[in-house]
Amino acid sequence: MPIALDFAHADQTVAHFNGLVTRATDPLIAAKYAGFVSVAAVCAYEMSVKDIFITFSVKKHVVLGNITRDRFDRISGRIGYKVLKDEYVPMFGEKYSDRFAARIRANSRQFLKANGRDFISSYNNVVLWRNDFVHAARLPTTATFNEVMRSYEDGKEVIRCLNLAMDR
């Protein structure tokens, strides 16, 4: 059974920011809150990625669990979709890479049809906005606060696919 993904902390933070933005009249303030939402979102994504790989590894073997825990203690925001797909998942074997790719393909088609958006793009955008906000003090200029919030929600689907793919 896949581990339970816990986005509650980030969801509470995002909901709080949403309440503040709806009362704010200054667009610059709303843009700053969008940056903070991206930080909370990537924090939740990163913790989920770590939990998924560590839980998987511990179930396989205690030594693998220890190695994986040590490896993923240092990922520090390196969780873009391409990194997940091309670096992290392949460390555990082709079987899991194939499962992740298949899950992404299937869910991506369904999500696009239902929502008219690509959740992989949303996920990558949140990571990009977070990196720009944290490392360059740049506010999201290509998205509104509401778009950042929606992208955070959409991006959770990448994490759900990873979680299901790494189920033993």
Residue 55 lies in a domain: yes
Residue 3 lies in a domain: no
Residue 2 lies in a domain: no
Residue 63 lies in a domain: yes
pTM of the model: 0.91
Domain encompassing residue 150: 8-165
Q: Which residues of the chain fall below pLDDT 50?
A: 1
Number of domains the chain is built from? 1
Residue 60 lies in a domain: yes
Residue 52 lies in a domain: yes
pLDDT at 4: 55
Residue 1 lies in a domain: no
CB burial of 134-160 (b: ≥16 within 10 Å; e: otherwise) equals: eeeeebbeebebeebbbbbbbbbbbbb
pLDDT at 57: 95
CB burial of 76-90 (b: ≥16 within 10 Å; e: otherwise) equals: ebebbbeebbeebbe
Residue 109 lies in a domain: yes
pLDDT at 42: 94
